[in-house]
Amino acid sequence: MFKHGNDNAILTLSELDGFMNALCSTPRVVPPSEWLPVVGGGKLPHFKSKAQSQRYFDLLIKFHNRVLQMLAQATDELELLFEVREFPDGDVVVLEDWCFGYMKGVEVGQWPPLPAGLRHHFDAIALHGEEKNFPLLDKMSSEEHQATVPRVVETVHRLYLHNRHS
């Protein structure tokens, strides 16, 4: 195995997917040299062998390219990797990890300020992706939480289209 860094590392597939969606939606191309260390918590991980290291980097680049292709080909529905938890009364989509990853990607991508019309949409991601919003989330019902899922998906598509055509 490898040592992946610290608590700032991207720890779940859902968080990695959010991170990659934001990186692939930036108005500028973010080179891997800027985002690879962020995945490991601020530094590149150390592996026991060069083969393990190469496999790790190849998988991350392949994942990045898959997300980029998905966003570029999206028409009306994206395949975002949200965490889903099973409960007796049905499945619940958990957005926090994914949105935290997205917010990290926005930071790494050094996004410029969004126009007011898009900022409102972006707030759907920030609601779940910033710790300062936890008190708001705690007050929301399960139904209100789930109602934000389609808003987040729509926002990702809108932001990708806006930033790619800016």
Domain-wise residue ranges, the chain: 13-164
Sign (positive or negative) of CA dihedral 23, 28, 33, 34 = negative
DSSP reduced 3-state for 82:
coil
Amino acid at 107: E
Question: pTM above the 0.85 mark?
Answer: yes
Query: Which listed CATH number (1.10.3470, 1.20.120, 2.60.120, 3.30.1490) goes with 13-164?
Result: 1.20.120
* Residue 108: count of CB within 10 angstroms of its CB: 18
- Reading the chain (166 residues) residue by residue, the pLDDT tens digits are 344 567 789 999 999 999 999 999 999 999 999 999 999 998 888 889 999 999 999 999 999 999 999 999 876 678 999 999 998 888 899 999 999 999 999 999 999 999 998 998 899 999 999 999 999 999 999 899 999 999 999 999 999 999 877 6
Q: Which token pair is 84?
A: 């889903």
Beta carbons of 56 and 40 less than 8 angstroms apart: no
- Dihedral of the CA atoms 164, 110, 17, 66 (nearest 10)? 40
**Residue whose structure tokens are 């994942």:** 63
